[in-house]
Amino acid sequence: MRKILYLFAAVFLFTGCSDYVEIDQVGTNVFKYTQDYRNVMNNNEELEYTYSFPLLSGDDTEITDAARQTSILENWGYAYIWKDKYFSDTQSDGDWDKMYRTIFVCNQVLDGVLASENGTEAEKQKIYGEALVHRSYAYFFLVNMYGKQYDASTAVSDLGVPLLLTTSLYSSLKRATVASVYDQITEDLKAAIEKLPDLPDFKVRPSKAAAYALLARIYLNKRDFQTASSYADNVLNLQNGLVDLKSYTSGTTSYPGRLNDPEVIFSKLVNSTISVNSNYYFFEPLPVSSKVLTLLGTNDLRYSLFTKPASSFSLAFDGRAYYKQKIVNQGIYTGPTVPEMMLIKAECAARLDNAPLAIEILNNLRINRFETVNYIPYTATTSADALSKVLDERQRELFGRGFRWFDQKRLSKDMGIISTVTREFKGITYTLEPNSNLYVYPIADKYILLNTELEQNPR
């Protein structure tokens, strides 16, 4: 029955409300007991996966090999060159579909769990809070992929994404504003915090730390650096473990998986496997740009452990590619980590004119990324210098996970930090200017043709 429900969710979301008003809502009365809702929230296949396109769009990826350019799946190639249009009129967007399915599942839980039977009130509230957090993460990625970068002066009018908060067939598919989506996410996360444990029993489940972490991301995007720093502190007060990469250079010790990794706060993964005409495709390897490799340098253990040449992969290519997902064999992480929270706190410190704190945080992180003999501590004389070092460190620490695309987009608001990106693909040169409309992904035409309420993004 759940399989039918999920299929119906996809039909509902992408074919329009009015077309299906005479169809009973499959699954409306399926779940009766609290345990039914717990089972739904334990379905990581529906809830854990997020996006794929940002892996290709960001400047930490660089596909220079002609054979690889030719073999790449068409839609991923379009994301790589920031094409005006990614899909034909009949093609679906796997990222959009995946995250709206997550939202549908969460809405079903939110609609019914509090009235379910044979469960304690505490367990019902916990499940409710988990659904709020999962839905918030899906909306955060969606609005930052398909809506403009949050800007306090325009967010109340900039188009975000459809804000679906129930499983009702009569929900509007009109795009909510960026401000409205951010407000909903913030409201939901704050409501969830009191319902959740400080840390999860399994890292695929939301916790207070996971909610705080997304709030830190949100306020960083909103350029409210004081509040972003405060939420990052809330996370780090609950979880602050780091992996010392020196422990894994010999190859005799297994790198911890996501459930045991002290850095992972909440497990979310790249939606890197997609189906086209019943065939499944996985994007691998992900070539790392020369810019990132230069930033890392060969003494950085992230270079030797998390990037590898073609000989380590099944496909030939030029340069080196992201390798961490092969070490853990669990996919590419998109969820929050302790290093990310440290970097948010460091960036906020630099922007708030506290260069010493920013540099102290960087050194506390970086000492775990080098052999001790090779590590030279950072110093900075100005806040601008500290900020530059923090942003460079974000590229080193977060490369290969799609984060760079979101950073390019938000940092385009800072004069001079993000430059024009140029790349050649199949003999043609493409450019991406700071603040370009191409930083906002196009909505697949299929959805717009079937849902007249949806508006396309300007190109």
pLDDT in tens, the chain (459 residues): 333 233 334 444 444 443 322 333 444 447 999 999 999 999 999 999 999 999 999 999 999 999 989 988 899 999 999 999 999 999 999 999 999 999 999 999 999 999 999 999 999 999 999 999 999 999 999 999 999 999 999 999 999 999 999 998 778 899 999 999 999 999 999 999 999 999 999 999 999 999 999 999 999 999 999 999 999 999 999 999 999 999 999 988 999 999 999 999 999 999 865 544 444 455 678 999 999 999 999 999 999 999 999 999 888 888 999 999 999 888 899 999 999 999 999 999 999 999 999 999 999 999 999 999 989 999 999 999 999 999 999 999 999 999 999 999 999 999 999 999 999 999 999 999 999 999 999 999 999 999 999 999 999
Q: Is residue 120 part of a domain?
A: yes
The answer to whether residue 70 sits within a structural domain is yes
In a domain, 445, yes or no: yes
What CA–CA distance (Å, rounded) separates 211 from 216?
Answer: 9
Domain count, the chain: 1
Question: Does residue 457 sit within a domain?
Answer: no
- Range of the structural domain that residue 389 is part of: 2-450
Contact 286, 322 (CB under 8 A): yes
* Token pair 């039909």 in the structure block, residue: 11
- Residue 214 included in any domain: yes
pLDDT value for 171: 84
User: Is residue 364 a contact partner of residue 19, using CB atoms and an 8 Å limit?
Assistant: no
The answer to whether the CB of 358 falls within 8 A of the CB of 390 is yes
Q: Are 425 and 77 in contact (CB under 8 A)?
A: yes
The H helix count followed by the E strand count for the chain is 19, 8
Q: What is the pLDDT of residue 316?
A: 84
Q: What are phi and psi of 347, to 5 degrees?
A: -65, -45
DSSP-H helix ranges across 301-382: 301-306, 324-328, 338-351, 355-366
The CA–CA distances, whole Å, from 339 to 52, 122, 279, 335 equal 22, 32, 36, 11
Residue 186, in any domain of the structure? yes
User: In which element (H, E) is residue 423 found?
Assistant: strand 421-425
CATH number of 155's domain: 1.25.40.390
**Cα dihedral angle (97, 101, 102, 104), rounded to 10 degrees?**
140
Any domain includes 456: no
Q: What is the DSSP letter of 277?
A: T
In a domain, 111, yes or no: yes
Residue matched to tokens 């769009």: 57
Backbone angles phi, psi at 300, to 5 degrees: -75, 125
The answer to whether the bond into 285 is cis (omega within 30° of 0) is: yes
**Distance in angstroms (rounded) separating the CA atoms of residues 434 and 409:** 8
Cis preceding linkage at 206, omega within 30: no
Q: How far apart are CA 361 and CA 263, in angstroms?
A: 15
d(CA 425, CA 418): 21
Pair 136, 214: CB distance under 8 Å: yes
For residue 359 the two structure tokens come to 């540099």
Distances (CA, A) of 219 to 228, 254, 412: 5, 36, 16
**φ, ψ for residue 448 (rounded to 5)?**
-70, -40
Cβ atoms 431, 421 nearer than 8 A? yes
- Total residue count of the chain as it appears in this document: 459
